Amino acid sequence: MNERRQEFVRMAYAKLDSTGDGIVTIDDIRHTYDVSQHPGVVDGTVTPDEALATFLEQFDTQEKDGIVTIEEFMDYYKNVSASIDGDDHFELMMRNAWHISGGEGWCANTSNKRVLVTHRDGRQTVEEVKNDLGVRPGDVDGYRQRLRDQGFGDEIQIDIKGGIEDDEKPARRSRGVRGSRPRGRRQA
């Protein structure tokens, strides 16, 4: 695995290791991993539950102590990396699965929540919640705290309506209206 990919694995591990002490548990991973971004779930070959179970089985392989070391985490992603050709695709997968903010162009993160922030002066902006991993849909206080951690003051109001509460449901695509006929010449 090249250095660029290893850096994204380290970034994901750092998100899990919030205290910086090198201790990440299986439960930490279970509660923070966004299984909807797993390649098998994305392409429809496995269910989210199957992907999560398989994913969790890969960790804690060396010591069997409930702790996932950076080495165990890196070993798992070495295997994943081997199945992904492009570095950009690997970056996008890691950013979305672990809600790593940033990226440019094709690699830009699309999984972090965005909220409508009303500032004290009345102006409104849409802001990315850069560390939304572990904040449950509808948790206004959780999103507000994460924005405070990003430097927004206490005076902001946020609106999370418009998809955050419902983000566990897959988006539905319209396939047209039954019984409608194609546009074109009218039939007499």
Does residue 37 sit in the same domain as residue 55?
A: yes
Does residue 103 sit in the same domain as residue 118?
A: no
Task: Give the pLDDT score at 74.
Answer: 93
Q: Look at residue 176 and tell me if it is in a domain.
A: no
Task: Give the pLDDT score at 171.
Answer: 36
Does residue 35 sit in the same domain as residue 60?
A: yes
Q: Which residue has the higher pLDDT, 59 or 120?
A: 120
**Which residue pairs from 154-161 have beta carbons closer than 8 angstroms and sit at least 24 positions apart in sequence?**
155/119, 155/120, 156/117, 156/118, 156/119, 156/120, 157/117, 157/118, 158/115, 158/116, 158/117, 158/118, 159/115, 159/116, 159/118, 160/113, 160/115, 160/116
Q: Total domain count for the chain?
A: 2
Does residue 93 sit in the same domain as residue 139?
A: no
Q: Look at residue 74 and tell me if it is in a domain.
A: yes
Domain hosting residue 137, numbered range: 114-159
Task: Give the pLDDT score at 183.
Answer: 40
Q: Look at residue 179 and tell me if it is in a domain.
A: no
Q: Give me the mean pLDDT over the 157-164 stretch.
A: 67
Does residue 48 sit in the same domain as residue 118?
A: no
Does residue 101 sit in the same domain as residue 148?
A: no
Identify the three-state secondary structure at position 27: helix
Q: Look at residue 61 and tell me if it is in a domain.
A: yes
38-80 pLDDT, tens digit per residue, is: 888 889 999 988 988 888 787 766 667 778 888 888 998 998 9
Q: Look at residue 188 and tell me if it is in a domain.
A: no
DSSP state of 37: G
Contact by Cβ (8 Å): 167, 137: yes
Does residue 7 sit in the same domain as residue 57?
A: yes
- Element at 184 (helix H, strand E): none
Does residue 16 sit in the same domain as residue 94?
A: yes
Residue 11's domain is classified under what CATH number? 1.10.238.10
Does residue 47 sit in the same domain as residue 126?
A: no
Does residue 55 sit in the same domain as residue 95?
A: yes
Q: How confident is the model at residue 102 (pLDDT cuts 50, 70, 90)?
A: confident
Q: Look at residue 170 and tell me if it is in a domain.
A: no
Neighbours of 87 (CB within 10 A): 14
Q: How confident is the model at residue 107 (pLDDT cuts 50, 70, 90)?
A: confident
Q: What is the mean pLDDT of the chain?
A: 78
CB-based contacts of 187, cutoff 8 Å, min separation 6: none
Task: Give the pLDDT score at 166.
Answer: 40
Q: Which of 32-36, 58-62, 166-170 has the highest mean pLDDT?
A: 32-36
Does residue 12 sit in the same domain as residue 52?
A: yes
Give the distance, in angstroms, between the CA of residue 147 and the centroid of all CA atoms in the same chain.
17
Picking from 68, 86, 107, the residue at the C-terminal end of a domain is 107
Q: Look at residue 187 and tell me if it is in a domain.
A: no
Does residue 47 sit in the same domain as residue 119?
A: no
